[in-house]
Amino acid sequence: MSQRRVRFGIISTANIGTEKVIPAMQRGRLTEVTAIASRDIDRACSAAERLGIPKAYGSYEELLADPNIDAVYNPLPNHLHVPVSIKALQAGKHVLCEKPIALNAEEAQLLLDEANRHPDLKVMEAFMYRFHPQWRRTKEIVDSGAIGELRTVDAVFCYHNTDPANIRHDAEMGGGALMDIGCYGISLSRYLFGSEPTDVWGVMEEDPSFGVDRLTSGVMAFDGGTATFTCSTQIESYQRVTVLGIKGRVELEIPFNAPPDRPTRIWHEVDSDRKEITFDVCDQYTLQGDAFARAILDGTQVPTPLDDAVANMRVIDRLKKAAAHHAI
């Protein structure tokens, strides 16, 4: 089993990369960040110097042409996820792409089709939460029947940001609460039920200035249960997930933005016996990078195949369509 590191190039100086993902991958056992690119060379050089990255490029094309880069991490705005990821595949690079994978399921399918033409290259959507031990344990509890048959999942993920310059408020770039954070509620529900929803309902409130949804709630019907979620970009910051079975429940205190510098906890309750489960300090972005790199080095399937990303986009599309008839 090879222990060499996968050499990553970072496409763009987006905050999610420079503030969270790059530092985390620099601490990985199997990941090495060797280059960063921006369409502004000064910005790329500044980020490279601040983060200790050896190379800086003034275009994405230059980075993709570098033969010493094995894989790319793509944290560009949503509308550039698929086109730039396709270019990366055509340049012979593995791709770790931020969520949501595309603007819609049809576009996501284009990426899957391209990936199928490059069977030796790995592509994975960066839903980092799935790599945190708290979610692995939650999935184990559910699958083991420790809360009885799973009946319903409820997720809340909100923050407050009204900055008009923020890309999350740009409709053409794929902005809005559903695309930015509502996609988590859909993903985790599919993950826990281990299936696709049979029906989807939704309601949306649109920001009159930005033209994107700022408050969205959704309901998904699964065989044997339901899942609900609420997401917002303009209310009090809060996140929580509750998983309910016929005998017990699991509650995740910080389900999405799990802190990398302190322990996290979940609660497992059965028959009023509430047990707190704590998890040692870890960085879910480091774990994600190493898991993706391991699949590259060992030639195995990535933990969350691209088919899963396409399926998640299908549900997002269905919810958007349903919510169009129930706008607030």
Residue 317 counted as domain residue: no
Same domain, 144 and 113: no
Q: Is the pLDDT of residue 314 over 90?
A: yes
| pLDDT tens for each residue of 271-306 | 989 999 999 999 999 999 999 999 999 999 999 999
Distance, CA of 273 to CA of 266 (rounded, Å) = 14
Q: Which helix (H) or strand (E) holds 123?
A: strand 123-126
| pLDDT tens for each residue of 230-246 | 999 999 999 999 999 99
Distance, CA of 182 to CA of 9 (rounded, Å) = 28
Average pLDDT over residues 33-56: 97
Same domain, 170 and 93: no
Q: Is the pLDDT of residue 1 over 50?
A: no
Structure tokens, 10: 């970072």
This prediction's pTM: 0.96
Residue 310 counted as domain residue: no
Residue 322 counted as domain residue: no
Same domain, 73 and 210: no
pLDDT band at 217; cut points 50, 70, 90: very high
The CATH code of the domain that includes 247 is 3.30.360.10
Residue 109 counted as domain residue: yes
Domain count, the chain: 2
Same domain, 105 and 140: no
Out of 77, 112, 127, a domain closes at 127
The predicted structure's pLDDT at residue 95: 98
Same domain, 102 and 138: no
Q: DSSP label at 173?
A: G
- The dihedrals phi and psi of 195, each to the nearest 5 degrees, come to -160, 180
Same domain, 73 and 15: yes
Residue 205 counted as domain residue: yes
Same domain, 267 and 142: yes
Q: Which amino acid is at 226?
A: T
Quote the distance between the C-alpha of residue 267 and its chain's center. 23
Same domain, 75 and 165: no
The predicted structure's pLDDT at residue 325: 78
Residue 200 counted as domain residue: yes
Residue 296 counted as domain residue: no
The CATH code of the domain that includes 77 is 3.40.50.720
Helices 306-323, 105-116: axis angle to 10 degrees equals 170
Residue 115 counted as domain residue: yes
Same domain, 221 and 273: yes
Same domain, 59 and 80: yes
pLDDT band at 328; cut points 50, 70, 90: confident
Same domain, 137 and 22: no
Same domain, 30 and 119: yes
pLDDT band at 3; cut points 50, 70, 90: low
| pLDDT tens for each residue of 52-108 | 999 999 999 999 999 999 999 999 999 999 999 999 999 999 999 999 999 999 999
Percent of the chain surpassing pLDDT 70: 99
Out of 127, 149, 167, a domain closes at 127
The predicted structure's pLDDT at residue 10: 98
Answer left, alpha or beta for residue 202, where phi above 0 means left and psi between -120 and 50 means alpha.
beta
Strand partners, 158: 232, 238
Question: Nearest-CA neighbor of 237 among 171, 286, 177?
Answer: 177
Out of 127, 162, 183, a domain closes at 127
Range of the domain at 22: 6-127
